[in-house]
Structure 1
Amino acid sequence: MPPSTGRPEPTGSRAGDPASEFRKPAAAETAPRSTAPEDESPGPEASRAETPTVPPTESPTPSSGTPLTTTTQPPPLLDVPLRLVGVVSRLYVVLESDRGLVLLDQHAAHERVLFEQMLDRLQQGPAPCQRLLLPETIEVSARDAAFLREHLETLSRLGVALSEFGERTFLLDGLPPFVRRTEPRPFVLQLIDELREAGEGVNALRLGEATVAKTVCRHAVKANDLLEGAELEELIKDLRHCAMPYTCPHGRPTMIEFSHRELEKRFGRSQ
């Protein structure tokens, strides 16, 4: 082994070399013994010399123009232009984008739009209530009657004017403007089922609102209705303003996209 010169070897050439970390103790044994106590820890300068550091300027930053990732995510589907092509089975709207083909479920999309519109109204105050020309009496079981009495306040905030009219009879005098008038009794009965399924959580007013709002939307959406071009354009416009436009309140997708690559693969045109 060549004699030690007493000068510390430069550490720059060994930075990042894993084997150098294991050779340092052997080199320390041949170096001249220091007069300091053996258990004395190395000083700050020695620690800094042995620890490799990376200058901050070497890290890529957005301002330097260096891309932080090698892949980029495509923009959300509703952020790209969509061209109306037609409607299949009075339900599925066919749209075209520069990325491929899009199928929109007008039932699920309208449900999402109405659901968020109703929740927005609830945040501002009670939902509007439109009086029925002919109020309806609804008779329920004793168990359902007791359950309804506990939730009349929640129903009132949602625009459902329901009041007691007997021991097991209730008078339905008004509904939200976007609920169809042809089926008020099934609507109320389904409200009971929805509230009961939610369990004790419906005692909290906000949870009750969300549960009933889903039921209201299910009775309000246009399913299998023939919509004209202007109505479809308005539906897509309203969907763009939703907080969660890609699923209905029950979790079903509102639209499905088929890329050009997927279409070519389906037709056996991809190489």
Structure 2
Amino acid sequence: MFLASLEQPAKKETAITELSGPEPKPHKVTVEEINKAISEIPLPEEPEEQSGEAFKFIDAQSFTKKKPVSVIVEEKEPEKPKPVVVGELFKTYVVAQVGDEMILMDKHAAHERYIFERIKSDAEQLETQMFLEPIMVLLSYDEYDALTANLDKVSQLGFEIEPDVAPTVAVKGVPIILGDDNPADIISELAKNFIENKLNPQIELFDDLYHSIACKAAIKANDTNSGIELQALVNAVYGQENIRYCPHGRPVMITLTKRDIEKQFRRVL
């Protein structure tokens, strides 16, 4: 019985071996089989283009070809500092800070050039302001003849003028931009300009006319202006590359850097 009990487990082990069979060998997957499997994967639909996105999608075909994923990032430009008015000198020069710079702006020269550029680029700035009663302006006879011969061009500049008893003209309206100033001086300047340019009196060549109107319309040195008005002027002029000199050639502003000022105070060498 003891021998029989020892032989039974051996028979059971043999039975298990016969049922399970030989152990399978591991199969090595080849590169060709991997590529074939990838190529059989259906491609997803291409996503619609998203406006305002800072990147673009790469389709699945790009991955099968093992191309590197590219990402396009839109770099935003750093925001430029804005001028801030900090005061005024001698009721003539506006003091403003722009980042690490200080600017001194001649308020009359800056405003004059600003108006000059707007007149040249936008005829609507020359809309006419009509007077309740005409203003009579006495000219020389030469000025009277030159002005009355060019009333159509004067009208394009926003003036409403009619000849009266020579050498007097009746001014019925002026450009709104001139405000409430007496028009006598500007009418005389217009007439003199027509005398000087009578050989080629084309309106686009009469920069002196625009200069005269801009000069009369601009704020003046020693005028009292609020901080809001000065800030509006600096905002309009600063950053305009074509506004660096007034129509007469004087600089509109000068700039001092923080380092320039600190060198004056010997804070830096």
**Could you state the TM-score of these two structures normalised by the residue count of structure 2?**
0.63
Structure 2 match to 1:160: 159
Rg comparison, structure with higher value: 2
C-alpha distance in structure 1 between counterparts of 2:240 and 2:203, whole Å? 23
Q: Which amino acid aligns with 2:212?
A: T
Q: How far 1:118 moved relative to its partner?
A: 1.6
1:205-220 counterparts in 2 under 5 A? 205-208=203-206, 210-220=207-217
Q: Aligned with 2:199: secondary structure?
A: helix
Q: Are the counterparts in 2 of residues 128 and 177 from structure 1 also a CA contact under 8 Å? A: yes
**Contact 1:105–1:254, Cα closer than 8 Å, also in 2:** yes
Is the partner of 2:189 in helix, strand or coil? helix
Dislocated runs of 4+, deviation >4 Å: 240-243
Q: Percent identity?
A: 27
SS of residue paired to 2:224: coil
The alpha carbon displacement at 1:148 in A equals 1.0
Paired residue secondary structure (1:247): coil
Partner of 1:204: 202
| Deviation of the 1:207 alpha carbon | 0.9
Code of the residue aligned with 1:186 in structure 2: it is D
1:177-196 correspondence runs (5 A): 177-196=176-195
Q: What are the Cα deviations for residues 153-196 of structure 1, in whole angstroms up to 9, with x where unaligned? A: 21100101111112322110000112143321112112223444
Q: Take 1:243 and 1:212, find their aligned partners in 2: how far apart are those partners? A: 23
Residue aligning to 2:262: 264
**Paired position in structure 1 for 2:230:** 232
Aligned pair count reads 190
1:150 CA displacement: 2.6
Q: Secondary structure at the match of 2:186?
A: helix
Letter in 2 for 1:129: T
In structure 1, the gaps of 5 or more residues are 1-78
Contact 2:101 2:256 survives alignment (8 Å): yes
SS in 2 for 1:226: coil
- 5 Å matches for 1:243-262? 244-262=242-260
Compared CA separation, residues 242 and 154, structure 1 to 2 (3 A): farther
Structure-1 separation of matches of 2:249 and 2:231: 23
RMSD: 2.4
- Once residues 203 and 157 of structure 2 are traced to their aligned partners in structure 1, the CA distance between those partners, rounded to angstroms, is 11
Q: 1:85-139 CA distances to partner (integer Å, 9 max, x unpaired)?
A: 10111111111122322101111111122112222222x6x93111012211122
Match of 1:121?
122
Match in the other structure for 2:104 = 103
* Distance in structure 2 (CA, Å) of the matches to 1:234 and 1:107: 14
CA distance in 1: counterparts of 2:89 and 2:154, whole angstroms: 37
Q: Distance in 1 between matches of 2:144 and 2:262?
A: 59
Distance 1:229 1:270 in 2: 33
